[in-house]
Structure 1
Amino acid sequence: MYIINMNTSSKSYPIIIGENILDKINPYIEKYDKILLLTNDKVGPLYKNQFLSTLKRNDIFILEIKDGEKYKTLESAKTVYDFLIENDFTRNSLIITLGGGVICDLGGYVAGTFMRGIDFIQCPTSLLAQVDASIGGKVAVNHPMGKNLIGLFKQPIGVFINISFLKTLSSEEFKSGLGEIIKHGFISENNNYLDFLNNNISNILNLNIKTLEEMVYISCLIKKSIVEKDEFENGIRAFLNLGHTYGHALETLYNYENISHGEGVAKGIIFAGKISLEKNYINEEKYSLLWKTFENFNIDCHPVYIEHNHLVKIMKKDKKNSHDNINFILFKNDNLNKEPVSIEIIEKVNNSFKNRFIKSVIDIGTNSCRLFLGEVEKKDNKINIIKKLYKSVETTRLGEGVNINKKLLLEPMKRTLTVIEKFNHISLNMGATEILAFATSATRDSENKDVFINMVKDKTNINIKCISGELEAKFSFLGNSQIYKEKIMIVDIGGGSTEFSLGENENLEFVKSFNIGVVRANEIFFKDENYSEENISKCQNWIFENLKEIEKFKNEKFKLIGVAGSVTTNVSVLKEMEIYNSDEVHNYNLSIEEIKKNLDLFLSKPLEKRRNIKGLEPKRADVIIGGNIILLSILELLNKDSITVSESDNLEGGMTYVDISFSSEGCCSRGRI
């Protein structure tokens, strides 16, 4: 066990570090009339019982808020204020935080502002919080336009760091803390701490308790030495913001999701290092050392190219700036230096990372419009998805009436345009520098597709590519071949067409699009919700006739993969999902018995009651029966008793496609496949 005594101008308090040290809190809580244990819905279920059983009081109130950086807001603070007021907390009350950085920051902010300030204790459970958020008295909440913009300085009365908590952290959360720890190594006045880290990589990554205790202790000592000299960040405490100018900008861009604080800091340190190199403050050897240190711990530190004006706009919101300058902490020889950096140098450095960027893919289908944003890397004429950032789907019914009229109708075009405008706004706000929008069968089959394409171009400046069914199938195959390495057949049941692709390891053996789909089936066979046995039989015969070519594959060995709404909806209905959960859907093995069970459920209810089935999106209720009939017919043709559901489809394929050149007919003339 280690004990550090923090001595600031406003308060002195202990930082106690060790394994199973929670009982050390008891002497510090005796005098308070009421105590609130503030935690979240992830940490609370794991630790609150253990925590409460250690304390010698049985009158502790508990409040859990939702887990995640996006909940570190004034709205969450109000939830805590309301709880304190409703339960008659006073100036002689205490808040104990039990959680990661969000809980430490939020609890400290509430303590600092409730009744003009009450005491609080920090019990950080994440590595990041143990070496950063819980130490030094900086507490805050986020604003949509920037991180930690609303806050104050408020020292706790004690920090209790239980190293045992680290054993339940995910790898991502643990590495987030390592990002801050490595930052402390670069801030330290000598290289001893960096040497310690590099000499103990295996022990650290394998969570050796004694090594972790020493590591956290040294990090806290480094932060203590800086905070005691500069409690209110008027001087050297700013050095703790190394990597934060760019790192916070990325966190804001990503809506505080899909990127940890530590990863943002790691990328920010490399960005600052590149500026330092550009200004001749450091040499290539020092710059390479920055990369190597993060890579030794398998931390992704590669900065992401963001459209320059957008990046600068976000950076200017950073609380560390003044007089309209953008301030960075830079490496200068063997020291650190805070200074403003010109827009020109920021742009030059940003441009040097153009091989890593944010790409947006919009799939404009017959029934729905879908968006996928990802962080990608282009290398050796290949694009790899580094991080999935955002997905959204909205039902637009663009293909309404196309099968009958051969034209896109005005109202569906307007509906779809509104969604594309929304998706374009989201893409630009999240820093996308490349937007690929492709339209499939409804647009492809319509005589007036140019009207719609020009409408979108005029409103959003997006050039829609009207792709062939075969290319759509290739996209789905490409997206799934990143996941499944055996031989696979991809089935994509859409609104107006169904695509098949067969192959292994990105090598296609068969690809074809067939003019059957859920909307098309509905319009031809099931008008006015007439699902008679006769109509179902006619629909099945139509499917068998159109898909007889795939029957030749029924004796081949391959993994059958289903993508898109017809298969994913079957899983969400089986699991009665109130909120769609991709993790539970992806890779689910959907049996023919389960599909039949769902079909019976759908057929047993009229449309209005079908819309209320748990797990079934209301806007899909009128086409799901046709989708299940098509799905069952395909399984029969291929002699399969199940299909594996994949969340990876033509969006992922479009994301990894390198170069698309379209002729006037919408065919792809070159690319990876």
Structure 2
Amino acid sequence: MKVLRIDLADRSYDILIGQNLFKALADHVPALSGLRRAVLVTHPSLHHLYGGALEAGLRQAGMESRTVEIPEGEAHKTLASAGLVYDHLMQHAYDRNTLMVALGGGVIGDLTGFVAATYQRGVPFLQVPTTLLSQVDSSVGGKTAVNHPLGKNMIGAFYQPRAVIIDLDTLKSLPTDEFRAGMAEIIKYGVIEDPDLFAYLEDNVDAILAQDTDCLTHIIETSCAIKARVVERDERESNVRMILNYGHTVGHAIEALTEYIQFKHGEAVAIGMVIAARLSQQMRYCDAATVERITKLIHRYGLPTQLPDFPARDYIESMYRDKKAREKKIRFILVRALGQVEIVDAVPEAELEKVLLSQ
């Protein structure tokens, strides 16, 4: 088992990466000591696959647990779904000494974390990510949120978990397209911070897509370590943490315009990374070779690189509504070189429109 520590003073916690971790939660997460009740939030299919083992681990840690099931999909990361969890908590009189457990991907993790942050002004929660994307991104760093029809993650809070439990065994049941979507965020880490990781991804495409355990452990641990370092420097995204949004400005616009149904989050981010790279070249931040390497690697992992067919103006208006926009200015993370990016607070509309129209 690999253990990474996120150092955030009294909000510090461990990220555990390994196999067969659920049945010994008490041994792995001392921070659970003293908690007596737990609420597991998950999808029906994941409850069937992993709920028993996780519930056994909670019992071994001295907790009785109940489960709330939420349908799958980004379309269910809403206040209405949060309301279902609140209803359960209220009906069964759960107090502040309750552990919320998020068993699932980014939707479940964000939703459960949001409920944990707001129920009785905050109860402890545990992230148990089961998708590659959530293991390397959304489960780490304390961002919680639900979506609004006009924008993604517009309603939320920064709220850190007690621990993140990454059990590699859960990836065995992950559909191929979900696994590929997770690779988008790992590619992102290579672009923004680690050219060695980017080269590793280029050199090991087949082994990674075949889910070789050693390869998976390496890329997940490296990705989590990068995110941990960034979060430690800027927990609430006031400056440097914004580099983690590379590809997300356009990605979130794609998701909003397609009503969160046509593209998986990682697929939308993959397209967004390509557009951001092209914009970087157009604004003379990077050269064509860098754009080509990024685009080629994304394509090799079976991810999309082309924008869906919406008018450029629709994309721009959606970006203005994004929470990362400031004072009617669109912020982009632009590429200088692999491993080096820059936060640009006001990308000219004309430059952005040229790239959007060139698709």
**Which TM-score band (shorter chain)?**
over 0.9
- Contact (CA 8 Å) 2:103, 2:109: kept in 1 or not? yes
* Aligned position for 1:67: 72
- Contact (CA 8 Å) 2:100, 2:112: kept in 1 or not? yes
* Aligned position for 1:12: 12
User: What CA deviation, in whole Å up to 9, does each residue of 1:572-616 have, x standing for no partner?
Assistant: xxxxxxxxxxxxxxxxxxxxxxxxxxxxxxxxxxxxxxxxxxxxx
DSSP-derived class of the 1:150 partner: strand
- Contact (CA 8 Å) 1:91, 1:115: kept in 2 or not? yes
1:336 CA drift (Å): 1.0
DSSP-derived class of the 1:336 partner: strand
- 1:29 paired to 2:32: yes
Residue from 329, 336, 339 that aligns with 1:332: 336
1:306 CA drift (Å): 2.1
User: What CA deviation, in whole Å up to 9, does each residue of 1:71-108 have, x standing for no partner?
Assistant: 10011111111100111110111101101100100000
- Contact (CA 8 Å) 1:139, 1:154: kept in 2 or not? yes
1:187 CA drift (Å): 1.2
1:109 CA drift (Å): 0.4
Residue from 201, 205, 211 that aligns with 2:205: 201
The TM-score normalised by the length of structure 1 is 0.51
Matched to 1:110, the amino acid is: V
- 1:38 paired to 2:38: no
CA distance in 1 between counterparts of 2:313 and 2:289 reads 31
CA distance in 2 between counterparts of 1:54 and 1:233 reads 34
- 1:346 paired to 2:352: yes
DSSP-derived class of the 1:222 partner: helix
* Aligned position for 2:287: 283
1:296 CA drift (Å): 2.0
Residue from 173, 176, 194 that aligns with 2:181: 176
DSSP-derived class of the 1:135 partner: coil
- Contact (CA 8 Å) 1:305, 1:351: kept in 2 or not? no
* Aligned position for 1:306: 310
Residue from 108, 119, 131 that aligns with 1:114: 119
1:305 CA drift (Å): 4.2
Superposed CA RMSD in Å reads: 1.3
- Contact (CA 8 Å) 1:270, 1:303: kept in 2 or not? no
Structure 1 residue runs without a partner (length 5+): 354-673
* Aligned position for 2:53: 50
Write the mapping of 1:426-437 to structure 2, written as runs, cut at 5 A.
Answer: none
Matched to 2:348, the amino acid is: S
CA distance in 1 between counterparts of 2:179 and 2:137 reads 13
Write the mapping of 1:280-429 to structure 2, written as runs, cut at 5 A.
Answer: 280-333=284-337, 335-339=340-344, 340-353=346-359
* Aligned position for 1:475: none
* Aligned position for 1:518: none
Residue from 68, 73, 80 that aligns with 2:85: 80
CA distance in 2 between counterparts of 1:10 and 1:128 reads 27
CA distance in 1 between counterparts of 2:258 and 2:44 reads 22
Higher helix content, 1 or 2: 2
CA 54–25 in structure 1, closer or farther in 2 if over 3 Å, else same: closer
- Contact (CA 8 Å) 2:36, 2:63: kept in 1 or not? no
- Contact (CA 8 Å) 1:108, 1:140: kept in 2 or not? yes
- Contact (CA 8 Å) 1:122, 1:159: kept in 2 or not? yes
* Aligned position for 2:143: 138
- Contact (CA 8 Å) 1:16, 1:161: kept in 2 or not? yes
* Aligned position for 2:158: 153
CA distance in 1 between counterparts of 2:150 and 2:316 reads 13
CA distance in 1 between counterparts of 2:293 and 2:71 reads 38
1:314 CA drift (Å): 0.9
CA distance in 2 between counterparts of 1:153 and 1:283 reads 36
CA 118–54 in structure 1, closer or farther in 2 if over 3 Å, else same: closer
1:203 CA drift (Å): 1.4
Residue from 255, 259, 262 that aligns with 1:258: 262
DSSP-derived class of the 2:112 partner: helix
CA distance in 2 between counterparts of 1:46 and 1:28 reads 26
CA distance in 1 between counterparts of 2:25 and 2:126 reads 9
1:4 CA drift (Å): 0.4
DSSP-derived class of the 2:15 partner: strand
* Aligned position for 1:411: none
Task: Using the TM superposition, name which of 292-301 and 160-169 deviates more.
Answer: 292-301
The TM-score normalised by the length of structure 2 is 0.95
* Aligned position for 1:274: 278
CA distance in 2 between counterparts of 1:14 and 1:288 reads 37
1:300 CA drift (Å): 1.6
- Contact (CA 8 Å) 1:306, 1:350: kept in 2 or not? no
Matched to 1:138, the amino acid is: K
- Contact (CA 8 Å) 1:247, 1:266: kept in 2 or not? yes
CA 85–144 in structure 1, closer or farther in 2 if over 3 Å, else same: same
CA distance in 1 between counterparts of 2:63 and 2:347 reads 54
- Contact (CA 8 Å) 1:105, 1:133: kept in 2 or not? yes
CA distance in 2 between counterparts of 1:68 and 1:291 reads 27
CA distance in 2 between counterparts of 1:25 and 1:69 reads 28
CA 264–10 in structure 1, closer or farther in 2 if over 3 Å, else same: farther
DSSP-derived class of the 2:13 partner: strand
Write the mapping of 1:198-237 to structure 2, written as runs, cut at 5 A.
Answer: 198-237=202-241
DSSP-derived class of the 1:303 partner: coil
Matched to 1:76, the amino acid is: S
Task: Using the TM superposition, name which of 157-166 and 300-309 deviates more.
Answer: 300-309
Write the mapping of 1:407-556 to structure 2, written as runs, cut at 5 A.
Answer: none
CA distance in 1 between counterparts of 2:260 and 2:310 reads 16
1:9 CA drift (Å): 4.3
CA distance in 2 between counterparts of 1:309 and 1:193 reads 36
CA distance in 2 between counterparts of 1:305 and 1:18 reads 41
CA distance in 2 between counterparts of 1:240 and 1:165 reads 25
1:315 CA drift (Å): 1.0
User: What CA deviation, in whole Å up to 9, does each residue of 1:336-393 have, x standing for no partner?
Assistant: 111111111111111100xxxxxxxxxxxxxxxxxxxxxxxxxxxxxxxxxxxxxxxx
* Aligned position for 2:195: 191
1:333 CA drift (Å): 4.3
CA distance in 1 between counterparts of 2:220 and 2:93 reads 37
Matched to 2:355, the amino acid is: V
Matched to 1:82, the amino acid is: D
DSSP-derived class of the 2:64 partner: coil
The structure having more radius of gyration, on CA atoms, is: 1
* Aligned position for 1:667: none
Give the number of aligned pairs: 352
